[in-house]
Amino acid sequence: MSIDQQPEPVATSGASNSKKVEVRDIFFYIPNLIGYFRIITAVLSFISMRNHPIITLVLYGISGFLDAFDGYAARKFNQGTRFGAVLDMVTDRCATSSLIVYLATIYPSYTLLWQLLVSLDLASHYMHMYAMQSSGSTSHKNVDQSQSYILSLYYTNRTVLFVVCLVNELFYVAIYLHYYNYFWFGTLLAWLSAPIWLFKQFANVIQLNGASVILARMDAEDKSK
């Protein structure tokens, strides 16, 4: 998932009642602590993935579910940071990619598909974040409707973002459970989540294309000067 934290200005010692924030303080902000716990549960799910599907489901589910709370904590406690936003996105991408990598080992006939999905996911998110940062945006989620209505809806509506990211993960989890003979549950979940999963891949393509256009436009402007 990707309910990302919004970076906020870090307090400085300018005012009499303000406290200088040290680098180590950022690492112990509440949303970042949640992020570390997400990483721990995700890694534990990788360890149990081969032999303990139910444990994997619980641990992977906890890691994904907590994605809804780090952003909330960042806003509530005014602890949004650049580090936290990147930590959140990297955790999302690594968790999803790791699950897909395992699917490639149990469904080797579809290895090419898994490779393309991982590549699309990583490339679209990296290029989008880099493009938004290069264009001066304070957050990769600040997508205007003029850029893309679909991406604007996806990133600016927290409900849409949460549902799409959640169901996208559920699709991969369903494919995983199907292999371990959770036939009806896995198959039913896969069919129910497939339409939104397809939408997520379509959004990734739009995101990749949009980021490419932004970067190419900036290059053209620079070369024209």
What would the DSSP string read from start to end of 158-172?
HHHHHHHHHHHHHHH
What would the DSSP string read from start to end of 92-122?
HHHHHHHHHHHHHHH-GGGHHHHHHHHHHHH
For 36, the token pair is 């570390």
What distance lies between CA 48 and its chain's CA centroid?
22
What distance lies between CA 143 and its chain's CA centroid?
16
For 183, the token pair is 């036939």
Distance CA 119, CA 65 (A): 24
Distance CA 100, CA 29 (A): 30
Distance CA 183, CA 33 (A): 36
Q: Please check whether residue 6 is in contact with residue 139, taking contact to mean a CB–CB distance below 8 angstroms.
A: yes
User: Is 70 considered catalytic here?
Assistant: no
Q: DSSP code of 110?
A: G
Q: Which of 92, 144, 219, 222 is catalytic?
A: 92
Distance CA 155, CA 146 (A): 14
The residue length of the chain stands at 225
For 48, the token pair is 């149990």
Q: Which residues are catalytic?
A: 92
